[in-house]
Amino acid sequence: MVKKEITKKKFEFLEHEFNYLEKEGVISQQEKVRMLGSYDVKGNLSFITILLSIGALLLGLGILTFVASNWIYLSKAVKFLLIIACLIGVNFAGVKWQARFPKTSRSLHYAGILIFGAGIFLIEQMFNISINFNSSFLLWAIGTVSIGYYLKDVFILIFTAFLLFIYINGSIFVDETSYPLAILVFLPALYILLKKFDYPKYLTFFINALAINTIALFLMESVPKLEFENSNTIVLSILFLLGILLAYIPVRTKLQNITHIQGHMLHGITALFLTFDYSIWFPLAYFVFLLYLILKGSLTSIVIICALIFRYYIDSFDFLPKSLTFIIGGIMLIGFGFFFENRRKKGGELNE
């Protein structure tokens, strides 16, 4: 049986309850120990971990600034060997100490990732390799994702997603002639890793955001080429529908909450922009839709309604007194609060 990972707080709660059941004679001590043995406590960010992470950051930056400040005085061979030596040195030390000092070992690998990334840029400069900066971030991401998989480290994979954000957005905005196809390889690979890592919350959020970003940029790149009159409205409308789809698409239980919230955020943000393009029927219909979601227990929809009110508050500034806007908004929010409190008393569930 695979042990389930839970937080320290949950483990302490279970331990307290099992102690109570043992005391009442419901379970034996052996059963209590066996049941507690079914769980592993997740490693929280300890003081040592934070200290070592900051140390890794400073070490990486220190080596890089030292090399950069003396770069012009070094020969190409020395420069290259220096980068390779630093890269191999910290990673070798990380592997060597992995069993005895796992946290220190991990911090050395973090420093290795920083040196690897900076080494790419320095080598490009040294050999006058002319490539777009976004391609350098792609190379950095390729190396980083390999280390993240080897170490089973969620934070390294989140950093990989961050590098890919720069890669794909840079590819679009530096006037690249072709779409950054590498992202189409990376995204499925990241979702496979996400499954292997049992869908950690923050990693799921960043990979989903990267996928949404990829689709949005693809639409922004391709729709104007079709020469429609209102290409921006078409892009926003497609993303709006995508948001609604994400809010209701059936996915794995661990993915569900984050994916659905991101769906609501996407259709909420795009709907705000679409209110400038469509006539009044769109915001009215959308407002009714949000009320329906609230009746279903969606808390995110309240935030979207507040944003919608604020958007029209700006437009109505000249002819509507501020106080009246605040009163209307306040009455609506109190009404929602009363509705949810009443619903909770009756045993209803809230979403998100």
| The predicted structure's pLDDT at residue 347 | 61
Q: How far apart are the C-alpha atoms of 180 and 187, rounded to whole Å?
A: 12
| The predicted structure's pLDDT at residue 266 | 92
Q: Six-digit token pair at 205?
A: 């959020």
| The predicted structure's pLDDT at residue 201 | 84
3-state secondary structure the chain: CCCEEECHHHHHHHHHHHHHHHHCCCCCHHHHHHHHCCEEECCCCCHHHHHHHHHHHHHHHHHHHHHHHCHHHCCHHHHHHHHHHHHHHHHHHHHHCCCCCHHHHHHHHHHHHHHHHHHHHHHHHHCCCCCCHHHHHHHHHHHHHHHHHHHCCHHHHHHHHHHHHHHHHHHHHCCCCCCCCHHHHHHHHHHHHHHHCCCCHHHHHHHHHHHHHHHHHHHHHHHHHHCCCCHHHHHHHHHHHHHHHHHHCCCCHHHHHHHHHHHHHHHHHHHHHHCCCCCCHHHHHHHHHHHHHHHCCECHHHHHHHHHHHHHHHHHHHCCCHHHHHHHHHHHHHHHHHHHHHHHHCCCCCEC
Q: How far apart are the C-alpha atoms of 160 and 285, rounded to whole Å?
A: 40
CB 87 within 8 A of CB 108: no
Amino acid at 51: L
* H helix count then E strand count, the chain: 14, 2
Residues in CB range of 251: below 8 A, 6 or more apart: 259
Q: Which residues pair with 4 in a beta bridge?
A: 39
Q: What tens-digit pLDDT sequence spans the chain (352 residues)?
A: 656 767 777 777 888 888 888 888 888 888 888 888 887 776 555 666 666 667 777 777 776 676 666 666 777 788 788 888 888 888 888 888 777 777 778 888 888 888 888 888 888 877 777 777 788 888 899 989 888 888 888 888 999 999 999 888 887 766 656 667 788 888 888 888 888 888 888 889 999 999 999 999 888 888 888 777 788 899 999 999 999 999 888 888 778 888 888 999 999 999 988 988 887 888 889 888 888 888 777 778 888 888 887 777 766 655 556 566 667 767 777 777 777 677 666 665 555 5
Q: How far apart are the C-alpha atoms of 3 and 17, rounded to whole Å?
A: 19
Q: Where are the beta strands (DSSP E) in the chain?
A: 4-6, 39-41
User: Three-state DSSP class for 252?
Assistant: coil
Q: How far apart are the C-alpha atoms of 161 and 190, rounded to whole Å?
A: 9
Q: How far apart are the C-alpha atoms of 50 and 317, rounded to whole Å?
A: 48
Residues in CB range of 134: below 8 A, 6 or more apart: 166, 167, 168, 169, 170, 171, 174, 176, 180
| The predicted structure's pLDDT at residue 270 | 92
Q: Which residue's structure tokens are 């915001």?
A: 283
| The predicted structure's pLDDT at residue 206 | 92
DSSP 351: B
User: Three-state DSSP class for 135?
Assistant: helix
| The predicted structure's pLDDT at residue 243 | 92
Amino acid at 164: L
